[in-house]
Structure 1
Amino acid sequence: MEKVFRSYPFKCVFMVFLLVSMTKVTSFAQGEKPNIIYILSDDQSWNDYGFTGHPHIETPNIDKLAGEGHTFTRGYVTAPLCSPSLASIITGLYPYQHGISGNDPEFKFEGKRYNNNWQIARSRLYKDYLDEFQKHPTIPMVLKKLGYLSFQAGKWWGGNYKEGGFTDGMTHGDPSRGGRHGDEGLKIGREGMDPIFDFMDHAIDEDKPFFVWYAPFLPHSPHNPPDSLLQKYLPLAPTKSVAAYWAMCEWFDITVGQLLDRVEEKGLSENTLVVFVTDNGWIQDPNVPNKFVKGSKQAPQDMGIRTPIIYKWPGKIKPKMDHSNLTSSIDMAVTTMAAVGLDPLPDMHGINVMDKKALKKRKEIYSMDFSHDMKGVDVPEETLESRILITSPWKIIVPGVANEDTQEVLLYNILKDPLEENNLANKHPDVVKKLTASLDNWWGK
């Protein structure tokens, strides 16, 4: 296990940027650097969109985006929890590499969790994790060397937006003012889109390419959608709590439309790479508002880690609804770097998904599930609940030491059994042996 969780040596910023600047140009045709927009849904199941077949939730703007891009319907995130999942997206590293395996440090506190004093106490313990995370370059840091301006809006666990390499942003990160996972940034979408629009105007005025991190607190709880949307879904949903969640999904879609409409109005669509993903899944509890049920968020099942992943870049990426190829959120950083003419950094595990040969060669992708609270930056294995490998047609879930539900290996034919109801591990011991060995080999890299 020491090999698995070896510490990654500190890379000084100068050496990282020197490496980036020396990296050779790859993949996409050369020309003007594209603007880049990441759209990150927060707590939404992979099938809670119109284009993925939901019978009631209306998402016309995301449906349109899916139709215009290369849409991987078999996409997965690196973890079924927002902080480690988002940290992987911004670095191109797995949680065991970047050091963020959970949302919060584990510690004893006399009083109510999440209050102001708890936030301050948390921040002191979280510094170790933040220090480890900040040893690794983020996409905004890499892009800055190419002249990009970047804007953080929405969910962000990495302290002040500047600490993540963004040139501009909304999150202050001050624990005495609620700086845990986004603070002021969580207003985006719910209270309008002007901060992003103002940033885009600024970048245009400066004649600079830009990167936007749009990670709104949507459809995340509290599920308090505009009343017009709630009333729309009440007759369709089994309960009010489900109706409220469905309405939140459409509210998120409306904001996506507002963002993409602004890109179109500014004449930027042809030279803008848009990437869409969700951070983790969600199944709404039908009887308890703002609560998820077991087997979704914080779980290794597909309802916790599966997501559509969309790449749209007119003229560069051919539209395709891709139901066969596997992809992961770990690929977003590598694909983004390829779009601006850079090779991936050495520690990145992802691939450029627009490289047809690399996509065809890939046979497996991986994910991992840790406890919500972390015991120590040097001992993530102590909160490991599951390691996951997905291939075709198999998906294997190997329990870790912190798994309180089961120590039984789970094997599913995920194509025939997408709800993961029939564990086939005992019927296919040869498959279990082969996939476990592959998982162990990846885990130790």
Structure 2
Amino acid sequence: MIKANFPILLSAAALSASLTVQANTAPNVIIILTDDQGWGDVGYHGIEDIHTPNIDRLAAGGTAFAQAYVTASVSGPSRAGLITGLHQQKLGFYGNGELSVIPHSQPTLAEMLQTQGYDTGMIGKWHLGQEEDQMPWRRGFDFYYGSPHGSHDYFRSSNSLEETRKRFLPMLRNGKVDTPVQERGDYLTDVYTDEAIQFIESEREAPFFLYLAHNAVHFPWQVAERYIDRLADLPVHHEERRFFAGMVLAVDDSVGRIMQSLEENDLSEDTLVLFLSDNGAPRGQGFEAPKQKDRGQTTMASPGPFNGFKGDTYEGGLRVPFVAHWPGTIPAGQIYPHPVVSYDIAPTILARSGVIQPMKGLPFDGVDLLPYLSGQIEPQQRPHQTLHWRRDNDYAIRDGDWKLTWNSQSGPQTIRLFDLKSDPEERNDVVDRYPERAQMMQDRFDDWDSRLPSNMAGKDPQNRNDHYQQGQRTNVMQFNDQERAN
């Protein structure tokens, strides 16, 4: 059962009289992004075998999203969707890898905020390109500290650009090699937090945008012993969960320290803080075999009650923790019930400066969420009626509360249909009960999917219906009958 440990406010409209939506007031902005933190890895979701008091406090003081999605179930494309405000596959950005980048014809959130007078800083994992012209300091950030690659050791880094082991690549400060992590004597999550606080304090007189992209809680499984020691009494079903909870606790401390820094610098009410994960919990986890987990068998990261994992287009790969916090503007203690997606973040932030669309390139797919949160828009009206996902050959479409999906790894490899209103955990496939709805949704997905550009990395989906616009249809029931016969 899905639950939360603070009250649901049934109507944001009741709060609108006492809240001011600052449509043209530009706040400071902080995005705290974690890596591979599942829906079941925060306490405010009612999870008892994790300890996240600061993240829970952030949720209680802001709005938590009951149905928050990312644009992709793996890191690179998810981050591209977040930082552009549109579905990254419209740019040809499909997966992780050095060939996947945001073209310069499409501005990033940081580049757009620079035009509005913001000082911009990024700390942590970039994962949006390796070439010099795609590095953070070339894509809108005045300041950068971190490693731009996909994962990193938490205790060690090299002091040489000639390092070939990706796990130990040097920490970079504005493109130049910085002091190795081990010489700073700290855990990487803490080092990133130190850098974030220094940035906040240096920018407290000007509007700033800080993008803190933690490597945590991504593999390698490493944590400072002091965090595990603090969780000796945490009730866990497996000791690997306690170890993982230590990695999460380090992130939680980071959130607490950042919020304390805002308070000490009298910036709390002038700062919009957004906290979320880049995708769901990974299937591969733990020290003991089997490391590839199935539903209900996780020992570390958790998708909560949901089906699937990172890389899937089931809920477990796409649904993440997401909190928006801005005292006096975003309602405190509210759980927003309708689906939102991470490409809503950029237009929500930019709308505060009066920016409605990018200054070039494609228009936003996301929407400004503040009118929905504040009650300016009727509570029953959703930000999105239809959402789409594509991950290699895996795909999904959500229309209202119905979701059609095909996945190669979890469960039967048939096209499946779920009623998320009555079955958010995707336990009951109803495709045979509603064949007409399933076909309608497959057609809608193929219509969207067939219009996308090719993958810039050269790996187009093998099951894309390229000829949909010429009248070719994917027959759902026929496909399933053939799959079941195999």
Normalising by the residue count of structure 2, what TM-score does the alignment of the two structures yield? Answer: 0.70
The equivalent of 2:7 in structure 1 is none
The equivalent of 1:256 in structure 2 is 255
Q: Deviation digits for residues 8-35 of structure 1, max 9, x if unmatched?
A: xxxxxxxxxxxxxxxxxxx73434x210
Kindly report which structure 2 residues correspond to 1:305-384, keeping only aligned pairs within 5 A, or say none. Answer: 305-345=318-358, 346-356=362-372, 357=377, 360-370=381-391, 384=392
Q: Which amino acid aligns with 1:64?
A: R
Query: Once the 2 structures are TM-superposed, how far is the Cα of residue 66 of structure 1 from its aligned partner?
Result: 0.7
Distance 1:150 1:94, change over 3 A: same
Provide the C-alpha distance between the structure 1 equivalents of 2:201 and 2:165, rounded to a whole number of angstroms. 27
SS in 2 for 1:326: strand
Root-mean-square deviation over aligned CA pairs = 2.9
Distance 1:148 1:183, change over 3 A: farther
Q: Deviation digits for residues 117-174 of structure 1, max 9, x if unmatched?
A: xxxxxxxxx3x533x5333100110011111111111110234321221010114659
Aligned residues: 378
Normalising by the residue count of structure 1, what TM-score does the alignment of the two structures yield? Answer: 0.77
Distance 1:389 1:176, change over 3 A: farther
- 2:122 corresponds to 1:152: yes
- Gap runs ≥5 in structure 1: 1-26, 105-125, 371-383
Preserved contact between residue 124 and residue 192 of structure 2 (Cα < 8 Å): no
Preserved contact between residue 327 and residue 365 of structure 1 (Cα < 8 Å): no
Preserved contact between residue 63 and residue 333 of structure 2 (Cα < 8 Å): yes
Provide the C-alpha distance between the structure 1 equivalents of 2:86 and 2:415, rounded to a whole number of angstroms. 25
SS in 2 for 1:311: strand
- 2:238 corresponds to 1:244: no
Preserved contact between residue 38 and residue 214 of structure 1 (Cα < 8 Å): yes
Q: Deviation digits for residues 219-256 of structure 1, max 9, x if unmatched?
A: 22222223243242586323332221122122211111
SS in 1 for 2:337: coil
- 2:38 corresponds to 1:28: no
Query: Once the 2 structures are TM-superposed, how far is the Cα of residue 213 of structure 1 from its aligned partner?
Result: 0.6
Query: Once the 2 structures are TM-superposed, how far is the Cα of residue 436 of structure 1 from its aligned partner?
Result: 2.4
Kindly report which structure 2 residues correspond to 1:191-230, keeping only aligned pairs within 5 A, or say none. Answer: 191=191, 193-204=193-204, 207-230=205-228
The equivalent of 1:298 in structure 2 is 311
Deviates more, 1:139-148 or 1:349-358: 349-358
Q: Which amino acid aligns with 1:170?
A: Y
SS in 1 for 2:45: coil
Deviates more, 1:192-201 or 1:140-149: 192-201
Kindly report which structure 2 residues correspond to 1:2-401, keeping only aligned pairs within 5 A, or say none. Answer: 28-31=22-25, 33-104=26-97, 126=98, 128-130=99-101, 132-158=102-128, 159=130, 160-171=135-146, 173=148, 176-177=162-163, 184=171, 189-191=189-191, 193-204=193-204, 207-231=205-229, 232=231, 236-282=235-281, 285=285, 288=288, 293=293, 295-345=308-358, 346-356=362-372, 357=377, 360-370=381-391, 384-398=392-406
1:440 counterpart (446, 449, 467): 446
Provide the C-alpha distance between the structure 1 equivalents of 2:207 and 2:257, rounded to a whole number of angstroms. 20
Q: Which amino acid aligns with 2:264?
A: E
Distance 1:363 1:198, change over 3 A: closer
Provide the C-alpha distance between the structure 2 equivalents of 1:255 and 1:361, rounded to a whole number of angstroms. 33
Provide the C-alpha distance between the structure 1 equivalents of 2:291 and 2:357, rounded to a whole number of angstroms. 38
Provide the C-alpha distance between the structure 1 equivalents of 2:321 and 2:24, rounded to a whole number of angstroms. 28
SS in 2 for 1:327: strand
Distance 1:34 1:292, change over 3 A: farther
Provide the C-alpha distance between the structure 2 equivalents of 1:28 and 1:37, rounded to a whole number of angstroms. 17
Q: How much identity, in percent, do the aligned residues show?
A: 26
Q: Which amino acid aligns with 1:271?
A: D
Q: Deviation digits for residues 64-91 of structure 1, max 9, x if unmatched?
A: 1111112112100011101110111111
Preserved contact between residue 279 and residue 317 of structure 2 (Cα < 8 Å): yes
Q: Which amino acid aligns with 2:253?
A: I
